[in-house]
Amino acid sequence: MTELKAVPQVEAFGSTDFYLNIIATKLGVQRISGVVVFDTIEKKTFDPLVDVEIFVESD
């Protein structure tokens, strides 16, 4: 499932925080990848999050 969200405009050399809610669909070691940011003005794609592995367990 792909959902596009708009991040507020950021001034040159500035930064902003944004949050993601990610829901695990399986137990065990899971990889989070493919999170990208697209600059609509300069038409550039940025990959700010390197692939991360997490361990998911049930309560």
Query: Which pLDDT does position 27 carry in this prediction?
Result: 93
Assign 3-class secondary structure to 1-59: CCCCCCCCCCCCCCCCCCCCCCCCCCCEEEEECCCCEEECCCCEEECCCCCEEEEECCC
Average pLDDT per block of 10 residues along the chain, 59 residues long:
72 83 88 82 80 88
pTM: 0.52
